[in-house]
């Protein structure tokens, strides 16, 4: 086996992060991106700002998480060199900050847990609403087929499921806006 006489090139992923820059967790990256976006920021500025603290993959992931907490793009301000222009809804940014401040532990992946919780709530609401519609539909079919007792019971169950769905939707409204 021959040993090369010239040194091997440095790994780009390792050379992108200076050894003196402290790494940031995804939650910290998400929070800082949201703070920057309150006044408006281009994607390239975000990548440049956080390049010493995280890899591009982690920054992209933090941007994706920030979109769950009020970050949105403005297509008309998109630039060829700077990329997408982002802004954030101040009310949703404050909700994110309060959720982080009241977190029981200093978990580095709190933003990801919040995203998964929001998705789970949306799924539960969709299932409850779909179940109510399904029960109303089955009740209607039973009524049309000549089974008034079964049809009325299914309609009653559909009404109860719809009431549960509306209650859940009302309670989750603050989180899902």
- pLDDT given at position 175: 66
Per residue in 76-98, pLDDT tens?
888 888 888 999 988 888 888 87
Confidence band for 157, pLDDT divided at 50, 70 and 90: very high
Closest to 56 in 3D by CA, of 42, 66, 69, 43? 43
Confidence band for 103, pLDDT divided at 50, 70 and 90: low
Confidence band for 140, pLDDT divided at 50, 70 and 90: very high
Q: Return the structure tokens found at 106.
A: 């200093």
How far is Cα 49 from Cα 141, in angstroms, rounded to an integer? 60
Contact 172, 120 (CB under 8 A): no
How far is Cα 157 from Cα 140, in angstroms, rounded to an integer? 12
Per residue in 18-60, pLDDT tens?
555 678 877 888 888 998 888 889 999 899 988 888 888 988 8
Closest to 58 in 3D by CA, of 68, 50, 48, 49? 50
The domain made up of 12-107 has a fold known as Arc Repressor Mutant, subunit A (1.10.10)
- pLDDT given at position 105: 59
Cβ atoms within 10 Å, residue 149: 9
Confidence band for 64, pLDDT divided at 50, 70 and 90: confident
The residues spanned by each domain of the chain are 12-107, 114-176
Per residue in 107-117, pLDDT tens?
556 667 777 78
- pLDDT given at position 6: 41
């Amino acid at each position: 086996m021959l040993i090369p006489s010239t040194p091997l090139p440095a790994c780009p992923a390792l050379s992108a992060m200076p050894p003196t820059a402290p790494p940031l967790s995804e939650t910290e990256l998400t929070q800082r991106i949201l703070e920057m976006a309150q006044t408006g920021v281009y994607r390239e500025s975000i990548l440049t700002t956080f390049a010493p603290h995280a890899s591009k993959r982690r920054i992209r992931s933090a941007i994706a998480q920030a979109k769950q907490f009020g970050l949105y793009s403005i297509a008309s301000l998109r630039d060829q060199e700077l990329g997408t222009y982002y802004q954030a809804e101040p009310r949703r940014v404050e909700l994110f900050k309060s959720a982080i401040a009241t977190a029981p532990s200093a978990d580095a992946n709190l933003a990801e847990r919040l995203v998964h919780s929001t998705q789970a709530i949306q799924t539960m609401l969709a299932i409850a609403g779909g179940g109510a519609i399904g029960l109303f539909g089955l009740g209607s079919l039973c009524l049309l087929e000549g089974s008034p007792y079964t049809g009325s019971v299914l309609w009653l169950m559909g009404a109860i499921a719809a009431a549960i769905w509306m209650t859940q939707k009302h309670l989750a409204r603050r989180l899902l806006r």
